[in-house]
Amino acid sequence: MANLGENSLLTGLLSPTSQRNQKADSKRKRIRRCRSAPLAELVPRELDGKNEATTLPRSEFFLDKLHPSFKRVAIFLTFYLVVGTICFSFVMKQIKGEKVNVILDAVYFCIVTMTTVGYGDLVPNSVASKLLACAYVFSGMAVVGLMLSKGADYIAEKQEMLLI
């Protein structure tokens, strides 16, 4: 029995390669991927261990430089404004105020309503347009909350990258 315990202790001393592998394994186990950890594509090349020659060149489109969560928020916000513009352009006759262009006024009303500014130059006049404006205000608050949470996640991720 004692010989078995000594044998297992001595194997690490006799083969230094196994010790290096154990150290590398312990380092790998310590760094775990979690929800707020940086994405692999955003890790600098020195830490990533990949050679620059083996990676494909990336395009220089401005959306490629954005963080993936900001891309999703931008797409969702664009979709939200397009849907709101279409809905408010249908009920623009039921909104009183000085109007210039149906589409331009609908975009303006969407942005003013979503951000809960409410200048008062365009005011819903019917029950349907008032209900649509109320629904748009509440969903706009949710979109703003989503943007703020994604921004906070991005800042926390950058701080983690600096610490690691």
Mean pLDDT of the chain, nearest integer:
75
pLDDT tier at 151, thresholds 50, 70, 90: confident
Task: Please enumerate in sequence order all residues whose Cβ is within 8 A of that of 154, keeping only pairs 6 or more positions apart, or say none.
Answer: 67, 69, 70
Domain architecture of the chain: domains with CATH? 2-50 (no CATH), 62-163 (1.10.287.70)
Site of tokens 């009303």: 109
Supply the DSSP symbol for 93: G
Give residue 109's pLDDT.
93
User: What SS3 class is residue 123?
Assistant: strand
**Amino acid letter, 62:** F
Angle between helices 127-163 and 68-90 (to 10 degrees): 170
- Produce one character per residue of 60-89: b if its CB has 16 or more CB atoms within 10 Å, e if not: eeeeeeebebbeebeeebeebbeebbebbb
- pLDDT, one tens digit per residue, over 84-106 is 999 999 999 999 999 999 999 99
C-alpha span between 19 and 69 (Å, rounded): 40
Burial-class residue 119 by CB neighbours within 10 Å (0-12, 13-18, 19+). Answer: exposed
Give residue 96's pLDDT.
92
C-alpha span between 110 and 135 (Å, rounded): 11
